[in-house]
Amino acid sequence: MLNQPKSSVWKMRVVVLSLLLFFVALPHTLEDFALGEPAKNGVPAPLLAGVIAGIFALQGLALYFLGSDQRRGYFIHLGIGIFWPLAAGLAQLPVILTFQPYRSGFISLHYVFGMIILGILLFLSSIGGLRATTTREK
């Protein structure tokens, strides 16, 4: 890793963060559906399921693009890196900050804060990857 180009290091960071984001976003989404959150908020579950499945598919496509050394993988990860923290923050933080017990306790909090932190890190790493690939192309 010491002698690798900066673009390879950034790419590895984005890939690892993206995979870690799957490990918190997917269980959190399943927990939402198990607890009936879409219905409580007046959102049709099939519609939300389709949107979430599309986001996960887009994230997988972004990983494919990175594996193919295509910059658009970074651009897609930029969007995903900002989407998950905003979605989790806007939907869950008001409930968490009421200081009432939150869902399944620690593990549920882990999912939400994991999505926020990993999403922000993914966003920032994608910017770093884009910068590294821009300097490499010059």
In this model, does residue 3 exceed pLDDT 80? no
For the chain, what's the residue count? 138
pLDDT in the model for residue 80? 97
Per-residue confidence band for 25, with pLDDT thresholds at 50, 70 and 90: very high
In this model, does residue 138 exceed pLDDT 50? no
Dist. CA 64–CA 27, nearest whole Å: 22
Say what percent of the chain tops pLDDT 70: 93
Give one word for 56, left, alpha or beta, with left for phi > 0 and alpha for psi -120 to 50.
alpha
Comparing 82 with 33, the larger pLDDT belongs to 82
Q: What angle do CA 102, 107, 112 make, to 5 degrees?
A: 70
pLDDT in tens, 47-95: 989 999 999 999 999 999 999 999 999 999 999 999 999 998 888 887 7
In this model, does residue 103 exceed pLDDT 80? no
pLDDT in tens, 114-133: 999 999 999 999 999 999 98
Residue 121's contacts (CB-CB under 8 Å, 6 or more residues apart) are 17, 81
